[in-house]
């Protein structure tokens, strides 16, 4: 049978206050086409459907519309979804009676009945092209510390031991249900050891890196583990069948060079046969000027003026996102104005302007060490603070303005 693994959609996300609604809409339409073209039997979505626990009406509408379209176009498709750390477990679980009637399985939070795991909700049979059960999915959502069972004090890291206990119980129940030729598949939204975090857009979960989960959480009889949380697509522990699919869209400028994809997973006779990466089309590019490090304002203006011109008929949401990084040896009060002027008629839209200060970056005490604050003149303090940001000394005009202000303050205080 064939699975498609995706995660970390983050519907409702904005990038520097720019809505990603149209990009997400294009991705979801592409995903429907891909599910059909690849003859997928089951869709696995490993958490972070939404960007926040209280998503906008537009984000929720996109989610429900996707489910409705998937059911109309692909009535045989099994859909299994787990909640992530960005999601509200209660919000995802609320429509469960409706989703159950549609044959869609959503597990927003860890379900318990009378203090015992509700295995009927956590274990999901998925079907092959002939309608036979081809795999059992252990659909474990993001686990919060309050979800974890108590463990003995001598076990070491109690959080990791608690997560291990939950997965062990669910996987053991799945083993009891599976029959020969059926695969064992796990889902999780977690941070694993040996994996790489995105620089800006991922939260360290379950207490941080010291609580990273070992790949041994998924024994060798687990044919495939579909993971979410990390936006960078990657294998875990060198295991071909333990994977983060990564996010389908770059969710920060630092993720521009990631491989954004979904994973098509083939299972045969209960074992993993192949995993194929299917790239997600980039609808809006991300551009940095300069490509690396920073450049002077004069160099940046030249690079911006050489960018492609805006094309008629291209919607705003398709225009490239632009980050500009300017090296500042001196203050530039009209920095943004000059950058925006250079961008007139260009296709790129400025979303981030980053000044790179060229000063020492040192603290006041590092300038003329040995002198106390009492022994420093106000001009000494001003020059030291200025040197922290700028390599060039302050101009005579700036010093004159500083002394004018200083005089006014001293006269007001007298």
Same domain, 236 and 324: no
- In this structure, what are the phi and psi dihedrals at residue 129, rounded to the nearest 5 degrees? -65, -25
* Segments forming the whole domain that contains residue 323: 284-369
Q: Tell me what pLDDT residue 78 has.
A: 97
**165 lies in the same domain as 209:** yes
Q: What pLDDT is stored for residue 375 in this prediction?
A: 67
Q: What is the pLDDT of residue 197?
A: 56
Statement to judge: residues 107 and 24 lie in one domain: yes
Residue positions counted in the chain: 414
Domain endpoint, select from 279, 304, 330: 279
Q: Examine the domain organization and report whether 121 and 207 are in the same domain.
A: yes
Show which of 233, 262, 279 is a domain's final residue: 279
Q: What is the dihedral of CA 334, 363, 293, 251, to 10 degrees?
A: -90
Same domain, residue pair 356 and 378: no
Q: Assess whether 250 and 165 both reside in one domain.
A: yes
Could you tell me which of 59, 24, 75, 44 has the C-alpha nearest to residue 248? 24
273 with 351, same domain?
Answer: no
Q: Show pLDDT as tens, one digit a residue, over the chain (414 residues).
A: 999 999 999 999 999 999 999 999 999 999 999 999 999 999 999 999 999 999 999 999 999 999 999 999 999 999 999 999 999 999 999 999 999 999 999 999 999 998 899 999 999 999 999 999 999 999 999 999 889 988 776 566 788 889 999 999 999 999 999 999 999 999 999 998 866 655 445 555 554 444 688 999 999 999 999 999 999 999 998 999 999 999 999 999 989 999 999 999 999 999 999 999 999 999 999 999 999 999 999 999 999 999 999 999 999 999 999 999 999 988 898 999 999 999 999 999 999 999 998 877 777 666 666 666 666 788 888 888 888 888 888 888 888 888 889 888 887 876
pLDDT of residue 367: 62
Structure tokens at 193: 């050891």
What is the distance between the alpha carbons of residues 78 and 99, in angstroms, rounded to a whole number? 11
On whether both 251 and 339 belong to a single domain, the answer is no
In three-state secondary structure terms, 82 is strand
Q: Are residues 268 and 290 in the same domain?
A: no
Cβ density class 382-402: b for 16+ within 10 Å, e for less: bbbebbbbbeeebeeeeeeeb
pLDDT at 406: 84
CA proximity to 119, closest of 162, 66, 185, 166: 166
Q: Quick one: 404 and 319 in the same domain?
A: no
Residue pair 83/47 in contact by the 8 Å Cβ criterion: yes
- Domain boundary residue, one of 279, 304, 332: 279
Return the pLDDT at 386.
84
* pTM summary value: 0.86
Q: What is the CATH number of the domain that holds 177?
A: 3.60.21.10
Same domain for 69 and 192, yes or no, is yes
Report the distance separating Cα 165 and Cα 81, nearest Å.
21
Contact 93, 108 (CB under 8 A): yes
110 and 236, same domain (yes or no): yes
Structural domain count of the chain: 3
> Which residues have C-beta within 8 Å of that of residue 263, sequence separation ≥ 6?
4, 5, 6, 226, 233, 243, 245, 275, 276, 277, 278
Distance, CA of 221 to CA of 183 (rounded, Å): 9
DSSP annotation of 309 reads B
């Amino acid at each position: 049978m064939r699975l498609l693994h995706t995660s970390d959609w983050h519907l409702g996300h904005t990038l520097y206050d720019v809505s990603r609604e149209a990009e997400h809409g294009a991705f979801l339409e592409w995903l429907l086409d891909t599910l059909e073209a690849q003859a997928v039997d089951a869709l696995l979505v490993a958490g972070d459907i939404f960007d926040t626990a209280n998503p906008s009406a537009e984000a929720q509408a996109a989610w429900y519309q996707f489910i409705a379209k998937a059911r109309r176009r692909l009535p045989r498709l099994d859909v299994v979804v787990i909640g992530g750390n960005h999601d509200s477990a209660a919000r995802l679980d609320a429509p469960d009676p409706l989703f159950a009637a549609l044959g869609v399985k959503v597990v927003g939070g860890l379900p318990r009945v009378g203090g015992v795991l509700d295995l009927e909700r956590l274990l999901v049979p998925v079907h092959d092209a002939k309608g036979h059960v081809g795999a059992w999915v252990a659909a474990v959502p993001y686990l919060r510390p309050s979800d974890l069972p108590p463990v003995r004090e001598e076990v070491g890291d109690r959080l990791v031991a608690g997560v291990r206990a939950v997965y062990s119980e669910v996987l053991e129940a799945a083993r009891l249900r599976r029959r020969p030729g059926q695969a064992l598949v796990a889902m999780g939204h977690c941070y694993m050891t040996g994996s790489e975090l995105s620089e800006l857009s991922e939260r360290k979960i379950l207490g941080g890196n010291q609580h990273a989960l070992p790949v041994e959480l998924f024994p060798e009889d687990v044919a495939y583990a579909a993971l979410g949380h990390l936006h960078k697509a990657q294998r875990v522990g060198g295991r071909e069948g333990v994977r983060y699919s990564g996010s389908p869209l770059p969710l920060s400028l630092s993720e521009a060079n990631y491989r954004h994809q979904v994973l098509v997973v083939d299972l045969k006779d209960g074992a993993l046969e192949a995993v194929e990466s299917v790239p997600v089309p980039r609808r809006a590019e991300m551009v940095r000027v300069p490509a690396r490090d920073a450049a002077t304002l004069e160099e940046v203006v030249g690079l911006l003026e050489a960018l492609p011109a805006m094309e008629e008929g291209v919607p705003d949401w398709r225009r490239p996102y632009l980050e500009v990084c300017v090296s500042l040896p001196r203050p530039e009060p009209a920095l943004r104005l000059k950058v925006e002027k250079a961008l007139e008629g260009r296709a790129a839209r400025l979303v981030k302007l980053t000044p790179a200060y060229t000063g020492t970056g040192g603290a006041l005490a590092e300038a003329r060490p040995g002198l106390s604050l009492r022994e420093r003149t106000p001009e000494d303090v001003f020059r030291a603070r200025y040197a922290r940001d700028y390599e060039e000394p302050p101009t005579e005009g700036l010093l004159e303005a500083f002394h004018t202000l200083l005089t006014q303050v001293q006269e007001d205080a007298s």
